[in-house]
Amino acid sequence: MTYQLKQTSQFDRWLSGLRDARGKVAILRRLDRIRSGHLGDTRSVGIGVSEIRLDIGPGYRVYFMRRGDMVFLLLCGGDKSSQQRDIKLAQQLAGDIQ
């Protein structure tokens, strides 16, 4: 099973602005595994949004929503320190998209 990943401009800005090279590589590897159908450590954060948790650096998070059976829309990212703010942003972005 292969999934398609699409990204919002918000997510693109966050990932391209990430200065932690090791963290960035870990995030990109995780996204590759998701494309192959291996979601790993995820949980719902409500309103159709889920969180990908990465146990590296400050505890990176990627927020996404599903579009149909095979598409994941990457909404935004952050880390454990900004988690509540990032969840609210992801839910707002998801609401705007739906």
Domain locations in the chain as residue ranges: 4-97
pLDDT of residue 1: 82
Tell me the pLDDT tens digit for each residue of 22-64: 999 999 999 999 999 999 999 999 999 999 999 999 999 999 9
Please give the Cα distance from 57 to 64 (Å, whole number).
20
- CA angle 24/55/22 to nearest 5° reads 25
Q: How far apart are CA 37 and CA 91, in angstroms?
A: 24
Bridge partner residues of 92 (DSSP): none
DSSP 8-state symbol, 43: E
**What does the pLDDT average to over 1-17?**
96
The domain 4-97 having CATH identifier 3.30.2310.20: the answer here is yes
Write the burial class of residue 28 (CB in 10 Å: 0-12 exposed, 13-18 middle, 19+ buried).
exposed
